[in-house]
Amino acid sequence: MRALFLFIGEPHQIFHALPIAAEMAAAGSDVEVAVASAGHLPVVEQVMAAYPGFSPRIRLLGQRGISHWLRARAIIRHPRLPILFSALRFLRQFDAIVVPERTTTAIRHFLPRRTRLIFTPHGAGDRAIMLDPRDRHFDFVLVAGEKSEQRLLDAGTIRPGHYALNGYVKLDLMTRLDKTRARLFDNDRPTVLYAPHFHRGLSSWDRFGRDIIDWFAAQNRYNLVVAPHIRLFAEASDGDRAAIKTLAIPGKILIDLDSDRLFDMSYTSGSDLYLGDVSSQVYEFLATPRPCLFLNAHDAQWVGDPDYLFWTLGDVIDDLADLPKALDQAGARHSRYIDAQRERLAESIGGDPAGAAQRGAEAIARFLAKDAAQDKSGG
């Protein structure tokens, strides 16, 4: 059985799936890796360094044809569909293709019947974006925790026998990477992580972002890391990004709009308090329960809405004038939320993330072996 781990989305998705490939390879499976750009390779190498002995064959896609033409002219930065269709001859060689995104389902009917599509989601948030009808096109799905399992079963996008709970792979990987991390700031002030979402209709950035930076610049009690979802400024001009970056203050305000540190948990691991809106990054931050504050920038009627379940894990701010008081009280008020944080984390990522990649690898191997046996028997 030949398995391909395919990455045509943003590089941060690699952390959610490639550790599974490392565990499959360690168990003797024939594993290859394909990525959509050279920008993916440093992230692949970071995972390889965390798993000594893991050195898969790596294929760089989209180097010719329409996908290369579109990217070279900056018409589309990530031409996923052109990359997939131009790579069909290569993709058809594999018995299984493992992906952390859903665009690949578009080629489901262009692959041999024997080729199994396997999905390992990137993220474990509460928003309904996790409920996607395209998931029905996967032969097998890995699910992080019981909360996601129940919502997916209720939606009919997974079915018994074709999914497995394995935990949160990225957090499993991060226990390996955290051993070598440096401190974010060389001082003793608490560090606040501001992590706005990329979707303009949900993000707090447009309404609050600049004012948040200005407030932190004018005080000396906290450090601030501004680390938005990498897609928030992905299409911004160089001038727009530069204008935001000039607001950084060495030793006090760190602003990162586009580096790999946005998704390798450098900031979620190294901060003391989370300030955000609807990003599922909060669950990565809560791998170690700490104070959280949430910004309601769109007057959302969130109470009782399962898409905002994580807003029950910290105080919610509707008016930025309340931010200073909320920050000062967050440590003392954390006792109100810590039990709920632990419970929601367990539901979302399956509790202790240790071994999540190995569990995922074993689940995939079992499914493929059972599937192959049924094919041979005509079942």
The CATH number for 227's domain is: 3.40.50.12580
Per DSSP, 12 falls in state G
Residue 273: which domain range?
A: 185-349
Are residue 302 and residue 367 in the same domain, yes or no?
A: no
The pLDDT, as a whole number, for residue 130 is 56
Residue 176 placed within a domain: no
pLDDT < 50 stretches in the chain: 69, 72-73, 75, 126-129
Residue 177 lies in a domain: no
Torsion sign (Cα): 173, 176, 179, 182: negative
Tokens of 169: 């792979």
Give residue 73's pLDDT. 47
User: Do 109 and 199 have their domain in common?
Assistant: no
Phi, psi of 233 (to 5 degrees): -110, 15
pTM of the model: 0.75
Q: Do 147 and 258 have their domain in common? A: no
Output the pLDDT for position 128: 44
Q: What is the pLDDT of residue 66?
A: 58
Gap between the Cα atoms of 133 and 117, Å rounded: 15
Percent of the chain with pLDDT over 90: 63
Question: Would 36 be classed as within a structural domain?
Answer: yes
Say if residue 339 is in the same domain as residue 191: yes
Asked if residue 237 and residue 337 are part of one domain, the reply reads: yes
Got the DSSP string for 180-209? GPPPS-SSSS-EEEEE--S-TTT-SHHHHH
**Sheet (strand 223-226) strand order:** 253-255, 223-226, 191-195, 273-276, 292-295, 315-317
Same domain, yes or no: 258 and 289 = yes
If asked whether residues 20 and 157 sit together in one domain, one would say: yes
| Closest C-alpha among 115, 270, 300 to residue 202 | 300
At 129, the amino acid letter reads I
235 and 152 assigned to the same domain:
no
How many domains is the chain built from?
2
CATH number at residue 81: 3.40.50.2000
Q: Tell me the chain's radius of gyration from C-alpha atoms.
A: 21
pLDDT recorded at residue 377: 63
In a domain, 43, yes or no: yes
